[in-house]
Structure 1
């Protein structure tokens, strides 16, 4: 008779369980006489019951135990390999997730840097445009302030600077006279501020301007005054009308260029106007 073993998917029982089962089986075989059939004829003829150790079953049990232990060890090794593979997979997934997060963070930082650079460039362009506008405005203002013209449009000099005669208390002319009919428009030759506007004795009705370059200009013998002290005027702004007030023999405009607002600080008016680009 051949020994059979139940098959199945379940793992083999532990060593102690298998050994116990084998012992019970051996006892049963010994009782039923099956062992006798497996033993040699000489042993079968004996009247006494043979000991289990005298049979070949002990060796069979030992072999099965070795095989079971090998199977258990192989199962443990396979389980260990599965655990290692699982840990590697988890580590790989974590590393991949970390790399993706890092990549997203780098992309976000790059986009932020790009947006910042774009905003900075836009601000720089706006600042450059603003500075350009300021420079243009300043240039226009300098042009406006630096532009000079004749005090009476289209007029000419009828009496020159330093002309001698008894009409002037100093013995000579402290300015120049521009030909002008009574009531002709008199304008500021350049931008400035009114420092005197009213009666000036021998000058009659007169106006004195402090120019933007620190010099002074005077307009005398006016028939009327159109500005007041402290008022700012631009080049070409009408400040009064020509006349013949004060020490005058007829309508004209007396014009002086000075270093101070007072009489006696005069300088050549023709040279002064020419220095500012006016053709006299």
Structure 2
């Protein structure tokens, strides 16, 4: 169990190189271009964007000045991206000017209901349990002498060395030591959510790394302020301590079944 008195300052890694391409509508040729105000690169051509590591739809929409923001970008490229706007992969070619070829053209309501860094329930799981074979112990907002202002996460009792997985796709923004949390990792997901993994015995990712949903990122342990080996799992609205929200509700809203949380 933790006594989170510490604070940590998240370091932001520079985003990956942005790549644009324009496809000539008549000849079908593709030309690579540097990052500029791409929407006006060539009149009469459909401007496209090549997804780079660490990109999100909101970042692309903002940087490329897409009318309607990430939701429009998603709707125009649903046939390329699929049903989950969180799951874009490096190398995908997205249309910035209009519907991509073969686009299903879903509605704005579909985008609003998609799981994109929000608490909206998803049709398909967009997260996983961070540890397997665990026993829930201290739950969110539990009170006691171990926590100054109530427990900020969900604890699962697991043996030291148990594989810890990224609950969802994201980018590592913190990986290191904290006096109270011991070895810890913080991952940014989509636009709004961050997950925190604490009391680790081993860290297997570094700041700036992109993690896939369910990817192994660490080994559980008993570092920091604890009474026994376990994983402290936290969901935050910022990378900083003090912005926690119910992690079990977050998991359930992302399609994960959590049995008997303490």
TM-score under structure 2 normalisation? 0.53
1:256 Cα deviation (Å)? 0.4
**Partners of 2:141 and 2:236 in 1: CA distance:** 14
Q: Pairwise CA RMSD of aligned residues?
A: 2.6
1:213 Cα deviation (Å)? 3.8
Matches within 5 A, 1:36-115: none
1:167 Cα deviation (Å)? 1.1
The equivalent of 2:142 in structure 1 is 163
**Partners of 1:236 and 1:138 in 2: CA distance:** 19
Higher share of residues assigned helix = 1
Structure 2 residue 81 is matched with structure 1 residue 138: yes
Unaligned runs of 5+ in 1: 1-119, 124-133
Any conservation in 1 of the 2:86–2:169 contact (CA below 8 Å)?
Answer: no
Any conservation in 1 of the 2:81–2:87 contact (CA below 8 Å)?
Answer: no
Asked which structure has the greater RCO (Cα within 8 Å, sep 6+), the reply is: 2
Structure with greater Cα Rg: 1
Distance verdict in 2 for CA 1:208–1:144, change over 3 Å:
same
SS in 1 for 2:81: helix
**Partners of 2:147 and 2:239 in 1: CA distance:** 19
Matches within 5 A, 1:1-280: 135-139=78-82, 142=85, 144=87, 147-170=126-149, 172-280=150-258
**Partners of 2:84 and 2:211 in 1: CA distance:** 13
1:181 Cα deviation (Å)? 0.9
Deviations 1:76-122 (A, max 9, x none): xxxxxxxxxxxxxxxxxxxxxxxxxxxxxxxxxxxxxxxxxxxx9xx
The equivalent of 1:130 in structure 2 is none
**Partners of 1:255 and 1:216 in 2: CA distance:** 11
Runs of 4 or more, structure 1, over 6 Å off, are none
**Partners of 1:213 and 1:152 in 2: CA distance:** 24
TM-score under structure 1 normalisation? 0.50
SS in 1 for 2:192: coil
Q: How many residues align?
A: 152
Any conservation in 2 of the 1:144–1:235 contact (CA below 8 Å)?
Answer: no
Higher share of residues assigned strand = 2
**Partners of 1:157 and 1:143 in 2: CA distance:** 28
SS in 2 for 1:272: helix
1:266 Cα deviation (Å)? 0.5
Deviations 1:138-183 (A, max 9, x none): 006647476200000243422111111111232x111110121110
